[in-house]
Amino acid sequence: MAIPVTTTGLPESTAAIGSPLRRNALHRITKAIRTNRKATIGVVLMAVFVFVALFPGALTRRDPSTATTLVFAHPSAAHWLGTDNLGRDVYAQVIDGTRNVLLLAIAVGLLTTVVAMLIGVAAAYLGGVSDSVLNFVTDVLLVIPIFPLLIIIAAYLPNAGNYVLIVVLTFTGWSYTARQLRSQALSLRNRDFLLAARVRGERPLYIIIVEILPTMTSLLLASFLNNALYAVLAGSGLQFIGLGNSNNVSWGTTLYWAQQNNALGTGLYAWVIVPGACIALLGAAFAFINYAFDEIGNPALRPLTAAKVRKAAEATTKRRLARGARAS
Amino acid sequence: MRFIIRRAGFFLLTLWAALSLNFFLPRIMPGNPINNIISKLHNVTPAQERAIEHALGINNKASIWQQYLSYLGNTVQGKLGLSVGNGGEPVSQLIRQALPWTLGLVGIATILAFIIGTSIGAIAAWRRGSRLDGALPPLFVFTTAIPFFWVGMMLILIFASVLGVLPSYGAYALGTTPSFSIAFIGQVLEYAILPALTLLITSIGGWVLTMRNTMVTTLTEDYVRMARAKGLSSSKIMVGYAARNAILPNLTGFAMSLGFVVSGAILVEYVFNYPGVGNMLLTAVNNVDYPLMQGLFLIITVCVLVAILLSDIATAILDPRTRTAG
């Protein structure tokens, strides 16, 4: 069920084969990315991080977890970002950590969306008591402060690796999307095309997958991007306070060691600046793509260029003149 | 009124859910929390062991449901048990010391972020198409994606390590005793600048973007055109007609943003070693001080629920439509 989300969502993964309709959609998406500045920034940033995650060997030969005797080194030609308390190369950690962070973001983005879809659509479709119960659970998770809850859960799971983080972040992150999907599904319930499908005698699963889900593509895409951003920030936050696995190479963990060793007080600024900037840039990539899709879907939000303003003003004047001519 | 009562009822149920999470989480997790604590602390006195058992509601003689009921009963009466560290002080006592710091910091930062962010959003929407509106949304999309703790670290780097103009550690200078003197209050404010600024920078973007996007829609409404036709001044239309109506969805978004700010506050307090509940929570986690940890989670949840309820009441007063709709 998650497959339509990714293929329609991420333009890079959409194969250009298939019906002319699909090629047309692909063309529209690439054009949107080229013309919307926020989308361009987001996609370019994302492409860089995906490249680093796939081919870390192209950027560094060093192993990020090999300890050396050269501890707390300032940036130099040999160690571009210096070394940490165990003499490990910080640059290698940043490069190698990319894969873990990206994996966390994409996995949590997909899983939360799938869970939200199952719960939201099920609640709307089943109605009655099941709806009330599912809705209550959704609302509770929505108002309980999530980050303290994450801390509590992580505290009972010492040395949580990437997979544990994925499960925990998914468990706490699906509620907002579920709520949106539920109201979307509710608003669809009595539409003619669904009645038609029911009259045709289609099975409920067919109706949900073929008839209801395609109407939610933009919501699902927004959910994926939002939750991926949430996973990057919350996951790095947990690692930063030492609730991740401290041997796992990840940006949050690198920052944890920097904080533990008072990197700011001892002038090892690169150790702090670069991993944090990477988190911010990856988060920004998700946020920019999300905001751009919002703009593409809702033209009212788009920034107006001077030319467009002029054109709109001319159009209004013309319309007014035409109306005036008709009236007289 | 019915609306408020229904919301309050929902929050009581939510509180019960939070309590149940507190009770059941240590039981469904792998490993035994009591053993975790005892293995981390050396020389656990029988009194401490009882305190831990009490806080987790563990009583090997009673059935799990009896334990659950007595845990609920104790918590409702405000008996949160004794801290494992901190010389076995009552959890409620410790929380009482930390809570004002967090409420002050988060409260002021949130109110400032709301006022400044909403104003910027309103101006950006009003000057739609200007260079200002072209630059602001991307900037604030970016600030919402920066991790809180890193912003804090960067501010420390700039203002404390390099420039050396602002303190970066604690809520007041070491060695001073808290009092209500002007000198002390000034000092508290000085120490709060960087943490509050951190919260402000990362949480303001949400307000700006929601406000701008709703106001762009309200600006096309007929009553705005009507106001223009009447020849009202621009500032009057902007504030009294467009912004006034656009602010309501922003207020509803308060609930969402509060969770965001609270999570940020925990990390910010940690980075600045600020003596609030967030920092205390992380210390409790490090010391496997489960009773304190659970008590803090509960208090943070209660505070967030109360704040959301207040914003619900405000929305109900300002917007009659919400009183009938769920």
pLDDT in tens, A136-162: 888 888 888 888 998 888 888 877 778
What is the pLDDT averaged over residues B223-236? Answer: 89
Q: Which residues of B touch A157 (CB under 8 A)?
A: 29-30
pLDDT value, residue A15: 41
A283 to B262: CB separation less than 8 angstroms, yes or no: no
Q: Which residues of A touch B217 (CB under 8 A)?
A: 300
pLDDT value, residue B59: 58
Structure tokens at A243: 């609730």
pLDDT value, residue A9: 35
What value, to the nearest 5°, has the Cα angle with vertex B141 and ends A43 and B237?
A: 130
pLDDT value, residue A308: 60
Q: What is the amino acid identity at position A188? A: L
More confident position, B184 or A229: A229
A240 to B149: CB separation less than 8 angstroms, yes or no: yes
Q: Which residues of B touch A164 (CB under 8 A)?
A: none
Q: In Å, how far is A207's CA from the nearest CA of chain B?
A: 28
Sign of the C-alpha dihedral, residues A220, A225, A231, A237? negative
A308 to B161: CB separation less than 8 angstroms, yes or no: no
pLDDT value, residue A1: 30
B147 to A37: CB separation less than 8 angstroms, yes or no: no
Q: Which residues of A touch B308 (CB under 8 A)?
A: 143
Q: Say which DSSP state A301 is in.
A: G
Q: Which residues of B touch A243 (CB under 8 A)?
A: 285
Closest-CA residue of A relative to B266 is A148
B10 to A300: CB separation less than 8 angstroms, yes or no: no
Q: Say which DSSP state B136 is in.
A: H
**Interface test mutation site (partner A, options B27, B148, B149, max chain A beta carbons within 10 A):** B149
Nearest to A272 among B18, B153, B267 (CB): B153
Q: Which residues of A touch B262 (CB under 8 A)?
A: 145, 147-148
Residue A280 and residue B100: Cα distance in Å, rounded?
Answer: 31
**Interface test mutation site (partner B, options A49, A147, A175, A182, max chain B beta carbons within 10 A):** A147
Orientation of helix B254-272 relative to helix A146-156, angle to 10° = 50
Nearest to A155 among B129, B148, B285 (CB): B285
**Interface test mutation site (partner B, options A94, A140, A282, max chain B beta carbons within 10 A):** A140
Quick count: other Cβ atoms within 10 Å of Cβ A49? 18
ipTM for the whole complex: 0.84
A301 to B21: CB separation less than 8 angstroms, yes or no: no
How confident is the prediction along chain A (328 residues), in pLDDT tens digits per residue? Answer: 333 333 333 333 344 444 555 667 677 777 777 778 888 888 999 999 999 989 888 888 788 877 788 888 888 877 778 888 887 888 888 888 899 999 999 999 999 999 998 888 888 877 788 888 888 888 888 888 888 998 888 888 877 778 888 998 999 889 888 988 888 888 887 788 888 888 898 888 888 888 888 888 888 888 999 999 999 999 999 999 888 777 788 899 899 988 888 888 888 888 899 999 999 999 999 999 988 887 777 766 666 655 565 666 666 666 666 655 554 4
Q: Which residues of B touch A269 (CB under 8 A)?
A: 157, 161
Q: In Å, how far is A176's CA from the nearest CA of chain B?
A: 9
**Interface test mutation site (partner B, options A150, A264, A273, A298, max chain B beta carbons within 10 A):** A264
**Is the full-model pTM beyond 0.90?**
no
CB B84 within 8 A of CB B51: yes
Sign of the C-alpha dihedral, residues B266, B269, B272, B273? negative
- Per-residue pLDDT of A214-252, as tens digits, reads 888 888 888 999 999 999 999 999 999 888 777 788 899
Q: Is the predicted pLDDT of residue B272 greater than 50, yes or no?
A: yes
Q: Which residues of B touch A234 (CB under 8 A)?
A: 263
Nearest to A272 among B142, B148, B157 (CB): B157
Structure tokens at A185: 């599904």
Q: In Å, how far is A312's CA from the nearest CA of chain B?
A: 12
Q: Count chain A–chain B contacts defined by CB atoms under 8 A.
A: 165
Q: In Å, how far is A203's CA from the nearest CA of chain B?
A: 32
pLDDT bracket for residue B326 (50, 70, 90): very low
CA dihedral B306, B312, B313, B318 (to 10 degrees): 150
Residue A47 and residue A285: Cα distance in Å, rounded?
Answer: 9
- Sequence-ordered list of residues with C-beta below 8 angstroms from that of A73, at least 6 positions apart, any chain: A79, A82, A83, A87
pLDDT value, residue B119: 92
A237 to B144: CB separation less than 8 angstroms, yes or no: no
Closest-CA residue of B relative to A290 is B141
